[in-house]
Structure 1
Amino acid sequence: MRGLAQYAMNGRRQAITAALLCGLIPLANMLTPAIVGLVGLRHGPREALMVAAWAALPLFGWAMAGDITPLILLVGVFVLATVLRQSSSWQPTMLVAILVGVGAELALRLRPEFLVLLTEQVEMFMASGNTEMPAVPPDMMQGVLINLFGVMHMFLAICLLMLARWWQALLFNPGGFQQEFHQFRLQPSVAVALMVLFVLASFGITALSGWTMYFVLPLFFAGVALVHGLIGIKKLSRLWLIAFYMLMLNPPLAQLLAVFALADSWYDFRGRIQKQS
């Protein structure tokens, strides 16, 4: 991974070559947005746009074949890298990532044939199970799939941007990403606003009733940063991180982590522990 990032940083031609070659290979094409993000973080949006224009060529081919995810992530990571470079803050970047999810939803709605195929595949999977599943109206099923599609792309765009930021730190600022991420904490007003929107959307009070997870993800990543920061301050074993990520496979615990992130925005656990030590 480091070799790929280092090669891409040798010049525009090398970055374009790396992005194009990754874009041609299934699964590896998910690294193309990260390469563009790295270029954007290091050299700015203009240079990243030059690389993205070439990188998009194979991704357009995948989109025509039915896989629109790499192309959506290319656009999303480019936007997020621009925001992070200009703001030097993960908070506005996380908030803009919500728009990436919304954009992914719109892209899926513009491909109704793909949505129908996806719905049929899910219904076949549910029907093949051993247990009887309650009948779900097609409109409701499509609504859930569209929302999950958007949330998945928001999550992946943030993860790929983090990969690009880690590459940048690895090559030019060793340890910089770890320090930056360990300190990431949402402002109290932003954290409360996200939680209020989540509660309102959960009860269908607002027009954003299907967007609950969009408001949770920034809090979730702030919670992940909190755990990483606390483990770093206490200098605990990496086994604690492994155990933590295994626990995060349980959705209720992931939501509980968002609550801890909300509390941390007011209490600043890391700052208080550092003062006591």
Structure 2
Amino acid sequence: MRGLAQYAMNGRRQAITVAFLCGLIPLANMLSPAILGLVCLRHGPREALLVAVWAALPLLGWAMAGDITPLILLLGVFALATVLRQTSSWQPTILAGILVGVGAELTLRLRPEFLALLTEQVEMFLASGAAEMPEMPEMSAGMMQGVLISLFGVMHMFLAICLVILARWWQALLFNPGGFQQEFHQFRLQPRVAVALMALFVLASFGVTVLAGWTMYFVMPLFFAGVALVHGLVGIKHLSRLWLIAFYMLMLNPPLAQLVAVFALADSWYDFRGRIQKQT
């Protein structure tokens, strides 16, 4: 993918070509937002807007066909890349990802026909597996839609952040080798931000009306901070990359992913990386 990013950085026409062609291909259309993010990080939001106009054309076609994810991600990545360029900080960038998730939720709510179709497909899937899992509790249609809307938003928040990370990695690879590693390894949430996220998480867990269903939005920044913590510790200790592969394998287990968020919360005060560096 380095060659793709390098070609896109040869000029506006090349960036438009790559973003447009990637947008035409299923699955590869997820790279179109990342290319836009790279242009925004390197040349600024004004230049990125010119690319976005062309990049959005095939994604609008996919949206009309029923797949609105690439278009949502194009807008979300553009917003997050703009924040990252202006602040040069991952904390506000990842926090802004919450707005991307909420925006995705609103988009789904404004398309009731798509939401109804999605709910029907999930209900059919659950019904087909009911014989194998008879202990699975039944959910009403309204509850099912609420869960799907929340998952839809969280998924888009997660993907938008990952694509901005990819764009930043491309930028460092082409113009600042090693810069992304140093930047990401040092990412740590400020204590007051971590406390605010946990407070909002608790309120959402207790079903506060405005925050109901948003618990994962408040965990996600802590999760990414935890990932940065693990990468930083592996880098400080000069450990093999196999440790990172094992770590990502373990992240497939949701309770362990939540544990990473807890360690990130503790790191906001304790600063594990800073203390280890002082000891070495």
TM-score per shorter chain, which class? over 0.9
Task: Name the residue aligned to 1:227.
Answer: 230
Deviations 1:75-98, CA, capped at 9 Å, x for gaps: 000000000000000000011110
Where does 1:165-204 land on structure 2 (aligned, <5 Å)? 165-204=168-207
Percent sequence identity over aligned pairs: 86
Q: Residues of 2 paired with 1:119 and 1:209: CA distance?
A: 19
Q: Is the 8 A contact 1:100 1:150 kept in 2?
A: yes
Is 1:112–2:112 an aligned residue pair?
Answer: yes
Q: After TM superposition, which residue ranges in structure 1, 4 or more long, deviate above 4 angstroms?
A: none
Gaps of 5+ in 2: none
Deviates more, 1:53-62 or 1:247-256: 247-256
Deviations 1:200-255, CA, capped at 9 Å, x for gaps: 11111352011000000000000000000000000001111111111111111111
Structure 2 counterpart of 1:61, one-letter code: G
Task: Name the residue aligned to 1:242.
Answer: 245
Secondary structure at the residue paired with 2:139?
A: coil
Task: Name the residue aligned to 2:213.
Answer: 210
Deviates more, 1:237-246 or 1:154-163: 237-246
Structure 2 counterpart of 1:231, one-letter code: V
Is 1:258–2:265 an aligned residue pair?
Answer: no
Q: Residues of 2 paired with 1:227 and 1:199: CA distance?
A: 25
Is 1:20–2:34 an aligned residue pair?
Answer: no
Q: Residues of 2 paired with 1:209 and 1:250: CA distance?
A: 24
Where does 1:48-87 land on structure 2 (aligned, <5 Å)? 48-87=48-87
Q: Aligned residues, how many?
A: 277
Q: Residues of 1 paired with 2:271 and 2:137: CA distance?
A: 45
Give how far 1:256 is off: 1.1
Secondary structure at the residue paired with 2:210?
A: coil
Gaps of 5+ in 1: none
Q: Is the 8 A contact 1:200 1:206 kept in 2?
A: no
Give how far 1:134 is off: 2.5
Task: Name the residue aligned to 1:131.
Answer: 133
Give how far 1:37 is off: 0.1
Normalised by the length of structure 2, the TM-score is 0.98
**Alignment root-mean-square deviation, CA:** 0.7
The match for 2:165 among 157, 162, 165 is: 162
Q: Residues of 1 paired with 2:5 and 2:133: CA distance?
A: 47
Q: Is the 8 A contact 1:83 1:93 kept in 2?
A: yes
Secondary structure at the residue paired with 1:63?
A: helix
Normalised by the length of structure 1, the TM-score is 0.99
